[in-house]
Structure formats: C-alpha cells, structure tokens
Chains A and B, each alone.
Chain A
C-alpha cells in the first residue's frame, strides 16, 4: 500500500476544509487523475471538474496519467490569476 500527502490551497483549501492530509492508495498503479477523482468524492464541496483540476507532484506540474509513488506530495493547484488583466 502507498501513502501520499495531499495539500490544498486557496479555494480548494476552503472548500475541502483541510490544508493537508495523508491518503492511502491501495492499487499499485494509481495515477494522479484517479487520486483526484477520489479526492473529489471525499471532498464533494470542491467546486471543479476532476478532469480539469491541475496538480503538482513533488512541486512539479504533472499530467493526470502520472503514476503515484509511495511518499509523493500531491498539491491541488487552483487556477492562478493567469489570463486575467489585473495589472
């Protein structure tokens, strides 16, 4: 069994009501996309389509087909202000 640490920031942190938690993964080749779907069922208040949630593993953005390793730190990254014209 593998264990990953999941970090929540900004809107996801407020919606999930948690900043960080450990999540156990039972299957050997669980990928990031599957973990994100699982997270969205644990935290149904997260307002985002699982397929569109961006995440980083160990501080690098990764595609959803990236397979998780024991001890990985997964951060769900809400949209940054990119694309807005605030300056």
Chain B
C-alpha cells in the first residue's frame, strides 16, 4: 500500500501515463481506469497547431489536491492526477488521471467525476494556436467556481 492515496503533479515535462497508472495500482486495487486528455488537431473546423497551458500553480495544485482528496473520501480508490503546462503538441497528453479501485464501477465513476471537477475549479488556462491566430479558451458564462465548492 502506498502511504498516500493520491498524488497530484503539475509539470512542463511530457506526461508519463504509465507512471500515473503505477501509482494507482496495487494488489488490492484490481481495476485501473486511466484517462488521457490528448491535444486534438481541430476545434470545430479550425485547424489547431498546438495548445499552450498556463496555471496559477500553487492554487491549481491545491485545487487538484482537493479534488483528489474528495475522490478518495467518496470512493475506495488510489488516484494520480498529472497536468501538463506550457506548449503541448498535437497528440500529446495535457491531462492524465489514473484511478485504481477494487472494482471497475467505482474506478469509472471516479475518473469521470475528476475530469468534470477539474474543468470547474482548477485555475489552468488553455490557449489554442491555430492557423492564422491564437485564442484563450474559456466559457465566461459557465465559469462559476463558487457554486462548485467541495464538500
């Protein structure tokens, strides 16, 4: 058993999904679900060249830890959440969430929950560089983090 049930990382390095999976695996946790958020080459019909991520690092880390803790109190799981910053080429991971659980149901549920939560409260922004321009992605009307306080 690892000493901690969760691990959170924010890094400019390429993500290593197998390392996250390893953290979330144990003899007790026979089901592992690993989510890879991978940079796509298009948004609607626009051709995307690369994505760039920026974070308020100390707060983003704190919010990711809150989500991981919340997941561990809701389900009997191990969880690793890794988020990439800086420039991310098409086809590379920007987010990896690995969840290990004794049963597959809770692993799927927890993994799905984490991705929704990450997009609600964690101060990490994405800039899309496309042919002919760049734009910060964010939905002003949908961003109400105070309505999504944990607890």
Contacts and interface: CB of A to CB of B under 8 A. Distances in A.
Range, interface on chain B: 20 to 34
B143 A80 contact: yes
Given A79-B138, A81-B139, A82-B120, A9 B145 contact: no
A78 B125 contact: yes
B140 A52 contact: yes
Given A7-B56, A9-B123, A77 B145 contact: yes
Contacts, number: 91
A11 B138 contact: yes
Interface in A61-78: 61-63, 75, 77-78
Contacts of A63: 146
Contacts of A77: 56, 123, 145
A87 B35 CA distance: 10
A21 interface: no
A65 to B, nearest CB: 12
Interface residues of A, number: 25
Interface in A37-87: 48, 52, 54, 56, 59-63, 75, 77-84, 86-87
Contacts of A56: 56, 59, 123
Nearest to B39: A86
Interface string B9-24: 0000000000000000
Interface in B98-129: 115, 119-127
Interface of B: 35, 37, 40, 43, 54-56, 58-59, 62, 95, 115, 119-127, 136-146, 149
